[in-house]
Structure 1
C-alpha cells in the first residue's frame, strides 16, 4: 500500500502524524510525507521520506498580510478564523499545484492528513482514493463542528475556502473524510467528527539529545513551564504569564524547567539555580520526569502531559485554548487560570494543589491509563489497509 501523508505548515500539526507513519513503514507500506520546504528537515529528522511541495507561500507572511488587510489585530490577541483561513488557502493552492502531478505519477492508495491541510481532500479527490484525517488533539469547534451537513458547512465556512474545495469537487458534510483517526480523550472532545476511530495518543515532539540532568534523580518536584511557539508570531509579550509564574514559584521548594524558546531565554537572563532554562526540548523526553506542567494549553502540550499522568495548570490565551482548558478542568486532570486571574498568589496556590492535592493527580493518572488502553498506531494499520482496498 502506498500512503501519501500531508500536514499544514506547523510542527504541531506534523508531529502527531509521525507515529502512524512509523507504524505504516514498519508494516512494510510505502509512505511519503508531503510538506512545505520549512518542514522538510523535520520530516527527515523523524527518519521519514519527504516530498517538498508548496514552494513560495509562507504561512506567517501570508497571515500578516491577512491581518493587516483591514487595520490589523491588537498585539497579544489571536486573529479571527476568517483571517487564519486565508493563508491556509494560499498554501493549499500552492501545494495542490505540486502534489496533484506527484499523486498522479506515484499513485497512492490512501491520503492521510491533519484537518488543517486543506489541500488533502483535493489531492484525495484528484487521485480517486480515500481520505483519512488525523486530528492533532482537542479539536476546536470552529469549522469542524459545521461538517454535520453540507448545508451547515456551506453556510458557515469561509467562502474562499468553500470555493477552493468546490474547484476540486470536495464533498462538504459528514462525507468530507472517509475516516477520522482521533487520539483525543473522550473527556477533552469539543466535537465528535463523523466516522471517528479513537486511537492512542503517542507523543512525538521532534528529535533531541537527552541532557545528563534529565536522567539524574530529582532532589525536588519538577515543574515544567512551556508556552509553545506562539511567541514566534505574536511577539515576546505573550511570555509575560510564564515569566510571572517563574517568579511566583521562587518561594516553593521546586525545580523549574523553563522551556520558552530563544525569546524566553533572553528575557530570563540569569534566572538562578532553581530554574533550568532550555531553548527547546522534546516534551516526550521531559514529561515523564515532571510532577506538574504550566502552559497555555496547546493541544500537543496538553496531550504530552496527559500521556504521562502529569497534572496541569493551563493559562489559555488564543484560538481554542479557552475551550480546551475548560474541558481539561472539567475532566479533573488539570486546573485553569484566566490571564486576568494570574497573580503570584494564584500561581502558588494552584501549583501547590497540583503537587500536593488529592484530586487532580489521580484524575490525570486515570486519563493516562485510558489513553494507554486505546489502539496504538500499529493496530490501526490493518484498518487503513482495509479502507484503501475498499473493504
Structure 2
C-alpha cells in the first residue's frame, strides 16, 4: 500500500515518526513524507523520500477562500504574518490546564485560549501545506495518511481522496484530552454560546477540497498510534482506551524507538565510565526555536561541581556561550546520541521532553525532570507516580535543589527498581515492525473504496 506521512517541520516531531516510516518501507510498502519545503533535507537525512508541500509564505494561496479562515480572537490581522499582533493579548496554552488531574477552567476561558491557538498556531502551521498536500494526495492516491497531532493538512488531504488516516502521538495525548474537555464544556452551553473554531475551520477546508463536512476524526484520527506505555499515558483520553467519549478511535500501542537524526558515537562513549555518570540534556526545541533553556545551567554545574560523579551535558552551542565556568567533573558537548549516552548513565536530568524521557525509560535509567509547560508537567508527574524518578518545575529549579534530588535518585535503590519495571513495560510493547499488519487491517477498515 501507499503511506503518506504528514509532519510538522519540527525535528523532534519528525524523528519520532521515522522508525515507523522505515518499518512500513521495509515491509514493502511505498512511503512518502510530506512537510514544508525547507524541511526536505531533514527528511532526506533519515533516508526517506520527501514531498515538499508549501512554504512559510504560502498562506496567501489558502487565504483566497474566506471560508478557510477562522476569525481572529479579538481582531483580524490585515497582513499574512503568522504571529499575533504585538498589542494582542497572548493567553496561556489551554493544554497545560487540561493536563491537570482535575482541570479547573471555565468554558469562556477554555474557548478563548483554544480559539486563539487554533488561529495562531494550528492554522498557521497547517495552512501553508494544505493545497499542495491535497494536490499530491490526489495524484499519488495514498491508502493511508499518518499525521502528527498538529499536522492538520494530513486529515484534510486524507478526506479529499478517501484514504484512511491515523494520528501518531509524540507524547501524551494532550491534544485529545483538551478536545474532549472542550466538547464536554461546550455541550453544557446554549447553542448560541457554543461555537467551535477548530471544527469550523477544518470543515471549511475539507469541504473546499472535496472531503465533505467536518468529522471529529479530523482531530483524533480514525485510529491513534501511541508510543507511550500505559503507565505514562494521560488517563481518560482516547489514547488510553478509557476515554469518556462514546466515539473512541482504535488505539494501536507501539514501542518507542530512539532516533535523533544522523549521529556519531565518539570514542569517549566507547569507554566504561570511571565514576558514576549523570547526563544533563535539555532538548533541541528550546535552544533552536525558543529563547533558550528554562533552567540556569550554570547554577546546576556549580551545584554538582564537588560531587564524585561524571556529568555529561549536551548543551547547544548558542547556550554554551552563556556558560562561564565548567567544573572539572563536567564534560560539555554540543550533541551526543542519547541511545548511546543514556545506557552509560546512572541518572538523566532533563526537561521532560517526550523523546528524552522515552529513551531513558527504555533503558531503565532513573530520571530527574525539570518540566516547563505543555505536556512536560503531566509527563513528569506520571513518571514520578511510577517511582522511576523525581520532578521539579523549571521555575523552581535551583542548583542546590537539583543537587538534593539528584543525590536522592543516586542513593535510593527504589528508583532503579521502578525504572527497570518501566523498561520492562516498554519492551513488552509491539515494535514498529510488529504493528504493520495491524495498520494494514485498519487501512482496509477505514479506506473509502
Give the TM-score taking structure 2 as reference length. 0.78
Distance 2:138 2:323 in 1: 51
Corresponding position: 1:230 with 2:300: no
Deviations 1:350-375 (A, max 9, x none): 11122221111111111111101111
Distance 1:158 1:27 in 2: 44
Distance 2:311 2:281 in 1: 10
After the TM superposition, which parts of structure 1 deviate over 6 Å for at least 4 consecutive aligned residues? 148-158
Distance 2:222 2:90 in 1: 38
Task: Specify the SS of the correspondent of 1:125.
Answer: helix
Distance 2:375 2:87 in 1: 23
**Contact kept in structure 1, 2:171 and 2:375, CA below 8 Å:** no
Tell me how far 1:14 sits from its aligned partner.
1.0
**Residues 21-30 or 283-292, more deviating:** 283-292
**Contact kept in structure 2, 1:54 and 1:94, CA below 8 Å:** yes
Deviations 1:256-315 (A, max 9, x none): 111121222111255143221112233223222222111121111111111111111111
Give the TM-score taking structure 1 as reference length. 0.89
**Residues 32-41 or 208-217, more deviating:** 32-41
Corresponding position: 1:162 with 2:199: yes
Paired residue total: 384
Distance 2:127 2:81 in 1: 15
Which of 143, 149, 153 pairs up with 1:109?
143
Which of 223, 231, 241 pairs up with 1:187?
231
Tell me how far 1:102 sits from its aligned partner.
0.5
Structure of larger gyration radius: 2
How large is the Cα RMSD of the aligned pairs?
2.9
Tell me how far 1:208 sits from its aligned partner.
0.5
Deviations 1:75-124 (A, max 9, x none): xxx9x665544232123122111111100110101001111111111111
Tell me how far 1:231 sits from its aligned partner.
3.1
Task: Specify the SS of the correspondent of 2:166.
Answer: strand
Unaligned segments of structure 2, at least 5 residues: 60-79, 97-112, 207-212, 239-247
Which residue number in structure 1 is paired with residue 71 of structure 2?
Answer: none
Which residue number in structure 1 is paired with residue 399 of structure 2?
Answer: 344
**Contact kept in structure 2, 1:132 and 1:178, CA below 8 Å:** yes
Deviations 1:290-343 (A, max 9, x none): 221111211111111111111111111122222221111111111011235433
Which residue number in structure 1 is paired with residue 383 of structure 2?
Answer: 328
Which residue number in structure 1 is paired with residue 86 of structure 2?
Answer: 68
Which of 439, 444, 448 pairs up with 1:384?
439
